């Protein structure tokens, strides 16, 4: 996998991409190649989620907003994001980076 120089502050670093890459779906068969790399599109999704802006405001450096949204929605429907979270959590838990603790927080509003 070719490296991409990280030029934007919150984009995935090469090490982070190396951990994420194997958890992503394999590319589909032959067809028209995408204008944008998966890494650009995923960085665009991460930008949008972090900033909370509308999809149409995703910067063009991440690909067209339609391409970014399309990938997000397609993978959401296919359960890819849930598998990515489970995979990353599993790796972190295996090396002891997660401490599983139960916490209870409550608010009581008495009705008279």
**Is 43:11 a contact under the CB 8 Å cutoff?**
yes
Residue 63 located in a structural domain: yes
Q: Mind listing the pLDDT tens digit for each residue in 62-103?
A: 999 999 999 999 999 999 999 999 999 999 999 999 998 888
Phi and psi dihedrals of 31, rounded to 5?
165, -175
How many structural domains does the chain have?
1
Residue 62 located in a structural domain: yes
Q: What is the mean pLDDT of residues 97-111?
A: 84
The range of the structural domain enclosing residue 79 comes to: 36-94
Residue 40 located in a structural domain: yes
Token pair recorded at residue 34: 């995408």
Residue 5 located in a structural domain: no
Give the pLDDT band (50/70/90) at residue 7.
low
Residue 6: the pLDDT is 46
Q: How far apart are CA 44 and CA 62, in angstroms?
A: 5
Q: Mind listing the pLDDT tens digit for each residue in 17-74?
A: 999 999 999 887 788 888 999 999 999 999 999 999 999 999 999 999 999 999 999 9
Residue 103 located in a structural domain: no
């Amino acid at each position: 996998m070719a490296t991409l120089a990280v030029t934007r502050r919150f984009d995935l670093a090469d090490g982070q991409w190396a951990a994420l890459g194997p958890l992503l779906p394999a590319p589909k068969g032959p067809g028209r190649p995408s204008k944008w790399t998966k890494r650009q599109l995923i960085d665009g999704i991460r930008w949008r989620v972090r900033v909370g802006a509308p999809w149409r405001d995703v910067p063009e450096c991440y690909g067209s907003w339609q391409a970014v949204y399309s990938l997000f929605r397609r993978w959401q429907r296919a359960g890819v994001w849930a598998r990515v979270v489970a995979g990353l959590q599993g790796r972190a838990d295996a090396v002891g980076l997660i401490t599983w603790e139960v916490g209870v927080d409550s608010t009581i509003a008495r009705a008279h």
